[in-house]
Amino acid sequence: MTKYFLVFLSSILLASEPITPIPKTVYVDMKKAKLGQELFFDTILSRDDSTACFSCHNVYEGGADSRKVSLGFHGKKGNIQSPTVLNARYNFRQFWNGRAANLLEQADGPLNNPAEHNMNKKDIEKKLNNSPYKKKFKKVYGTSKVKYKDVLDSIVAFEKALITPNAKFDKYLRGEATLSKNERQGYILFKQYGCMSCHNGINLGGNSYQKMGTFLEYKNDKEYPDRNKVSHHKHDINVYKVPTLRNISKTAPYFHDGSAKTLRESIDTMAKHNLGIYLTQEELQSIETFLYTLDGDTPSILETDVPQ
């Protein structure tokens, strides 16, 4: 009786909460995903064999980059902080300014960017067809030659597998765990102060755009590729896709400019600039404690070896 009552209570809770748990499992074409995983970690996709997707997206440590900006071809610096690829399948658009409609467009971007992989369709196909990957693609895709579209398809299959289920907060929503007093208080403050207005849904973000500095102006020391670079509308200056808060404790530094070195600093900054409030140290600590409950499991695909 107790088991069914808990299930009933959790269903009511889920219906009333603006956050949805990540599914425990998702369908993945493992043959494509494992091939994509191998490519993700391989520097062969860069012109000077220096950069892999993993170079800017450490999937074992939050899926982002611990540097303010990433380094690419010939050590060139990027122009914005690398966002996490973990749970990226749940974002409504990709990149900070939303210029990619999906993961396929997102995967295509860095490969052709002169400051990142500095490659193109023709050169990637030539390079892979003169490598052991030719046989691997034939095995997975049944083609006699490696095709660029299949390269992207395999990488996307891998990225779609990068989900981090079973965060403590997800378990709480499913009625499988309880929050500590401090975690619960942090969640209450998170909702009361309006953080939830932007950070909601399955990814606690990634589903809308927001201006950085709606109450207190947020000044940049240089220009960044914001939403304005896509829309060319004046009101989109300093507007970015709201980042996911999942595994947020592992993705420092924070913001598009990587200016916040710690999670607590990022909470304090967002409260001032986007909520117009000044949090006490106790409130900052409580909200930070709640955000730690959003750390999920390591994606299961990373726990299995890549077939050779």
Looking at residue 241, the DSSP 8-state letter turns out to be E
| Sequential DSSP letters for 173-209 | HTTS----HHHHHHHHHHHHTTGGGTS-TTTTSSSSE
Beta carbons within 10 angstroms of residue 204's beta carbon: 27
Amino acid residing at 139: K
Spatial separation of the C-alpha atoms in residues 121 and 118, rounded to whole Å: 11
C-alpha torsion 175→176→180→186, nearest 10? -50
- Has 183 been annotated as catalytic? no
What number of CA atoms fall less than 13 Å from residue 67's CA on the CB side? 12
Spatial separation of the C-alpha atoms in residues 159 and 139, rounded to whole Å: 20
Catalytic, out of 17, 38, 116, 176: 116
State the catalytic residues.
116
